[in-house]
Amino acid sequence: MPARYALVSVYDKTGLETIVAALGKQSIRIIGSGGTAEAIRKAGYEILEVSDYTGTPEMPGGLVKTLHPKIHAGILGDWTVPEQRKYLDQQGVHPFDFVIVNLYPFQDTVRNDPSNLQRAVDNIDIGGVALIRAAAKGALLNNRVVPVTSPQQYDMVRGELVEKNLIGDKLRQRLAKEAFNVTAEYDKAIRDYLVGRLKQ
């Protein structure tokens, strides 16, 4: 198997240094989006920016960062399947064994300023939701990817890494279920807000 990688793209950067340090101790390389990469670099850790990895610069305003085949193939690909391995190697895709993502704070935004439709729409996360769903599917599809969707999960992930040098199936499956719950609640919050706001 090729080297292990983690994709990190977080709005809430609480505890970020802790999880990055744990990954580093396991020789897991980190790829991150712009703001996250800057925070990790300031903390003294090496990171490859998503735009440098994909060869595609972030869209102005940060609207498109991680929606790229090299990202999602790295999450969903199975290096044990010869046909997939050939494609992944030809495309220079790295395997993401960890996807650490949390979302724009849509729920907090509409709670604090419910009348501001533009601000609400600006805080609808697209790439983050796609990453979380891909990681949760990859966790169950290939028993490889670990989706981490909240700083509150960092300690359990770090603890298992320290103890076992890997994440076991039980924790991986738990995190996958929690990941799908995150995206379900997020989409419900968007729907409920728009139903109340756009009454025509």
Higher-confidence residue: 158 or 3? 158
**Is a pLDDT exceeding 60 seen at residue 153?**
yes
**Is a pLDDT exceeding 70 seen at residue 73?**
yes
Q: How far is CA 24 from CA 6, 30, 44, 143, in A?
A: 10, 8, 11, 22
Where in the sequence is the domain holding 103, given as residue range(s)? 5-197
Q: Quick: pLDDT tens for 111-133.
A: 999 999 999 999 999 999 999 99
Kindly report the CATH number assigned to the domain that includes residue 85. Answer: 3.40.50.1380
How high does pLDDT run on average in the chain?
94
Confidence at 1, pLDDT banded by 50, 70, 90: low
Enumerate residues 6+ apart whose C-beta is below 8 A from 181: none
Instruction: Quote the CA–CA distance of 173 and 187 in Å, as a whole number.
Output: 21
Enumerate residues 6+ apart whose C-beta is below 8 A from 153: 175, 178
| Residue 196 one-letter amino acid | G
Q: How many domains is the chain partitioned into structurally?
A: 1
Instruction: Quote the CA–CA distance of 165 and 186 in Å, as a whole number.
Output: 32
Query: Got the DSSP string for 38-87?
Result: HHHHHTT---EEHHHHHS-PPPGGGSSSS-SHHHHHHHH--TTSHHHHHH
The three-point CA angle 54-18-35 to 5° equals 35
